[in-house]
Structure 1
Amino acid sequence: MRKLLLLLCFIILFGCAPDSKELDQRSTILGLAIDKGEEKLFSISIQLPILTESGGEGSSSPQGGNFETFTTEADSVWEGLSKLEAMTPSVLFFGHLKAILISESVAKTHLKKIFDSLEREAAIGNQIFLLIVEDQAGEFMKKESPLVSLPSLYLDRFFQADQKLSRTSDVKLFEYRRDSNMISETASLPIAKLSNEQILIEGMAIIKDDKLVSKLDPREVGFSELLKKNKLDFMNYDVVLENDVKVTYSRIRLKQVVDYKQTNPVQISLEISGTGEIVEVNDVDQRVDASFVKEADEAVGKKMEENLQDIIVKMQEINAEPWLFGHRIWALSPKYYETLDWESGGWSNAKVDISVDFRTSNTGEKGAMNKTKIGR
């Protein structure tokens, strides 16, 4: 027994020895960007941190501005990475890869080829964030934020943050492939761009059959998340009432219950309920009493129903369904699903009924409607 334990400890301690390398013998890739090439199919860029002494004995870390970006052109991702490795004195290491950025022009034509290459390499983890960049992905990756020293780490920090407003949503490599393999073969990826030299991440790209076919603007992203995940947290919203009184809500939380009737075309029912807090009324003299709140609640519910219907029609027109309604029907009623011809016209012809029950949970005023004065 003792010999067996010693053998087990020996395997644990030395099992990785053949693959072990010192940090200075690796070129640690933090970001990978893929653009359309001028002479070749792709322009491949990698971002490498330059490690400097941070004061501790034998310790080193990436400092602000200390990164380098290398770029080459190739007809495949791995051909490009092989060329890039020849530009560095050490072995390319993917263990700390944070994000893969793909330009919009490439996303419209060559996503399948890119992801086929990435999925075959075991060194690239499934937890990597994916983004679509509206212009040049390589140039976007070079942009350094004053808030986070390395561009790729900025993306990682952005998506790891809790309680972000629902203007975009993080998607990892395994999540993209999972959604792409569902019945509708439709997934979504966050959109990034440079706006006035500032990094801006908002909106979502709709990907069908590994091709970019449409986009959702920041306001539509929150509702798309609700349709897919059956819940939504932290959304801002506004509505205009009579006499041009504008009411702004924050901390909106919604829940959704999905049902369907086995008709042809299918009739999908979405029952949505939720709450939100009033954070601003543009007319400061407007009395926010019970009748005003009731009017605002009804207006918000009606406007949300219209917004949701618009998004659904938008996706039906291009026959893209990223919310897994078809997969739900296929899983729960497989025989019925076969009668719908979902991919050809089942989704495009589907009837969707939406009802929203919205309630104001807080008016944001110091004097709440249910306040009881002291001494009375």
Structure 2
Amino acid sequence: MHVHEKTLTVSGQNWIEYTLENDQGISINCLNYGGIIKDINVPDRNGKLENVVLSFANNEDYLNNPNFFGALVGRVAGRIESSSFSIDGKMYTLPANEEDHHLHGGTNGFHQILWETTPFQTETQIGVHFTHTFPDGDGGYPGQLEVTITYALTNENNFEITYQAISDQDTILTTTNHSYFNLSGNLKRDILHHDVQIDAGQFVELNHDLIPTGDILSVDNTVFDFRKAHPIIDGVHSIDQQNLVASNGFDHYFIFDHQQQPNATITERESGRRLEVRTDQPGMVMYTSNGLDDSIKLKERNATKHLGICLETQGSPASLKHKGFPSIYLSKGETYHKKTIFSFRTID
């Protein structure tokens, strides 16, 4: 196992690109800017190594990165309705960056931070620690927040992301990574025939602004029932109102039943690649890149709708407005500690 690093100069900034490579030949390239994952190279059933995430052709495009390709997301992943919330009766207002709402930490979230980084290697894994202290009031959020996020790759082909944080005030926090996966390899095909399985009997209803309505729906007798695997294309062709509000696809929070492991599995039968997701988060937003188009220049090709699938393990910002949703409140002095493991496998 090896960790390599090189310096990149991007629009006058010096970035570090790390390459994590295990003994099986799997490699992950990531940046200290935004914690961005640029490439994940994994084998197909015949052992051919190819990239399975969407990444820009030009590093400069990560400076803006409105689609959050590969990036860390925080302080709050997802949409905060009307860009406001309250703690103990005190109202906080955040900058709106999607209509009237606050999306993925705002305009200066985790995805645009130049993180302090420390590479490491042990007997069982290689990786990088990302650390940053966010001052009280940064981005409108209360509390000085000390954050450490760790990327680690094992020889068992597991990619582990561990999130740790502590605040000196009561605050809100839920973090994730926003990689877009495409298991066909080097973006040869879209994701419509990726088979998805999710251990979730409920999902969150959205309005036309993609804001939770406050209702939690059963997946029974809908294309949202992924307890048995079926392809993404079922939701694209669906006339279910919830698929239509998401622009013909999925952009919904699934609440895990935590009845079985893994929590989610994605399989691309033609390549034989399978991705398993295990997490201690209460749920996951599955986004099927319904908003991408060919104006976006990616490394292998221009983007298209439904070219990638995001598996955003997190709590629910809807808990700020509605009861019954997984909370994202973090008490003063409490340690936030969450972990998500992406395991890369092959099938016959």
Q: TM-score, normalised by structure 1?
A: 0.24
Q: TM-score, normalised by structure 2?
A: 0.25
Greater fraction helix = 1
Greater fraction strand = 2
Could you say which structure has the larger radius of gyration? 1
